[in-house]
Structure 1
């Protein structure tokens, strides 16, 4: 949920591994991906605020009755997560090309942690001062739970997220770990294609193999979005070919298959049946939007304000649920449902901007400088071992 869309630097010459590919030209910034990231975040927000029926205490009534149309949209907009993962595969591959493992580690720490630390602390304060709206998490955050959450590795440690939306960060982290293995040798066209093929095979056999560690790392449910995003980036950087089209098509086929096991969990939230056809339509739209970006369908989009909008995506995602619930349950006592939704959305967008402007922008350069210095010291001192 945290990927950034960066402008292309001049691309490095192709290596021997990728000599069969034409040398790509310098590409313009993909503003449309910034917009799609915000669309995905708002989709997840709509799912939590409008689509989840079992949190009726948030609206003092049933969202499906108070806002029938909004609930219909929100009941399926959780597929914004799938769009996030597609974009992540595309953007991570793009931003890592020609860079080292240390560069990748630094970029992820700088991008993810400052806003996340602030969000954890703000959400903790909110939960300590107000009653949580989640019916299945009734206890106040304990100090050890908060501190463990600050590592962003609380999920594998068996510690509940301070805000349940943080679950996707663990999925992203596992993708980063897998991709970092490839970075040890450096990215080339052949290696990245091979990485996609091997990951797809392992994700396919992980279930029958019944190896929990393998399933945890290769993510049989969500791998298809990351892999497809990577293949779409290769189409963008080089050019489409039958193999890349095949990888994307295979990922879509596996994604629709694994969706059978995903829908049930979201039906628990909506408290009613969800159409498989509508769900797959949303997922297919996500594939087409990122694929269209790769193929140049949206090159006409040159709205620079989308860069600002994209920068709000991550803090908005981190803040919107628990804090948003508390705002909704209070404001909805005084305003009708739809005005309440838009007022709280504006408030949360403002909060996201403040986190970006006051936390991410000033802290990122400082943190990057310190990490770069650390890696330089390690390389220097390690050379004398």
Structure 2
């Protein structure tokens, strides 16, 4: 399998763009109201797309990982430096310009730097950051699986995980109770999406004749069924079915047509775009409305501004920090090996 899968970059870019479009149209209208006739409610399913992508990418990464510290360094360098910048910039913009219902103290901003403010019963400085907690939990769980040499038995682990999800749903239905810590630690609300991403990786990485592995396909179908049960919504089930189908097309090499440079560029800046668009975008959009700028002008302007900021953050913070931290890890390992 190629070390760089361009279709995944496109998936990332489209997922981020869909989420941004949902927030600047539908979500902003729900919270503050605007006269924009256009709404993009299905854009919220970009989050589900991200979780599918994470399942695929993290399993791919762990298959190439040589040490736990190497994996931790790679994930830390990818997530935290630009996230810290986003927390600082978002807090500053919201506090200086002002956004109704949002006002963050220094303590709140500081605890957000951990990426898990909910563990400290502290609100996130941006509404989209909740997904990062799930990402971190998933990384930890998968690192445990890797340490236990369970990657090649991942289908059995997925079966057990799905059974745990089923136990949660049945317990909630019949007793109205399930330990919330277990629900959080095992990400029972979204585990099926990460699992599906893992299974798609297994199908993609397997030999041509093994891509019809019945167990893996059945588990993918069960993951989709879990989505339908949890959301209990026909639209949700239909949209996520479309996301699953996009991965199937990718697995069977039918999506090379989407690998266009603008879409791949969106994929390059997708993480920064996700981090910087929400409260910063809302603050700027609210300010433009106060100044009398019509919505059909204000929304595209804010969208372009968010893409511009994400481009700067990716180029001058995210990528340099990633290169520096990973090079330091490589240098340290090389030095230690020579000393030994």
Q: TM-score, normalised by structure 1?
A: 0.79
Mapped partners of 1:206, 1:380: distance in 2 = 51
User: 2:179 maps to what in 1?
Assistant: 211
1:242-263 per-residue CA deviation (whole Å, 9 max, x = no partner) reads: 1010010000001011013xxx
User: 1:32 maps to what in 2?
Assistant: 7
User: 1:155 maps to what in 2?
Assistant: 118
1:218-276 per-residue CA deviation (whole Å, 9 max, x = no partner) reads: 1221111100111011010002311010010000001011013xxxxxxxxxxxxxxx3
Mapped partners of 1:306, 1:116: distance in 2 = 23
Contact kept in structure 1, 2:224 and 2:237, CA below 8 Å: no
Deviation of the 1:285 alpha carbon = 1.3
Confirm or deny that 1:124 pairs with 2:87.
no
1:151-191 per-residue CA deviation (whole Å, 9 max, x = no partner) reads: 112122211111111000011111111111111134643x2
Confirm or deny that 1:346 pairs with 2:304.
yes
Confirm or deny that 1:250 pairs with 2:222.
yes
User: 1:336 maps to what in 2?
Assistant: 294
Contact kept in structure 1, 2:228 and 2:234, CA below 8 Å: no
**1:1-385 pair list within 5 angstroms:** 26-27=1-2, 29-52=4-27, 53-56=29-32, 62-63=33-34, 66-68=35-37, 70-71=38-39, 73=40, 75-99=41-65, 100-133=67-100, 135=101, 138=102, 140-186=103-149, 188-189=151-152, 191-207=153-169, 208=171, 210-238=178-206, 239-260=211-232, 276-332=233-289, 333-372=291-330
SS at match of 1:54: helix
Contact kept in structure 2, 1:93 and 1:230, CA below 8 Å: yes
The count of aligned residue pairs is 327
Mapped partners of 1:79, 1:371: distance in 2 = 36
Mapped partners of 2:70, 2:218: distance in 1 = 31
Q: What runs of 5+ residues in structure 2 fail to find an aligned partner?
A: 172-176
Mapped partners of 1:379, 1:322: distance in 2 = 46
SS at match of 2:256: coil
Contact kept in structure 2, 1:87 and 1:229, CA below 8 Å: yes
Question: CA distance change for structure 1 residues 194 and 102 in 2, over 3 Å: closer, same or farther?
Answer: farther
Deviation of the 1:334 alpha carbon = 4.2
Deviation of the 1:376 alpha carbon = 7.4
SS at match of 1:296: coil
Mapped partners of 2:266, 2:114: distance in 1 = 27
Q: What runs of 5+ residues in structure 1 fail to find an aligned partner?
A: 1-25, 57-61, 261-275
RMSD after superposition? 2.3
Deviation of the 1:303 alpha carbon = 3.2
Question: CA distance change for structure 1 residues 243 and 116 in 2, over 3 Å: closer, same or farther?
Answer: same
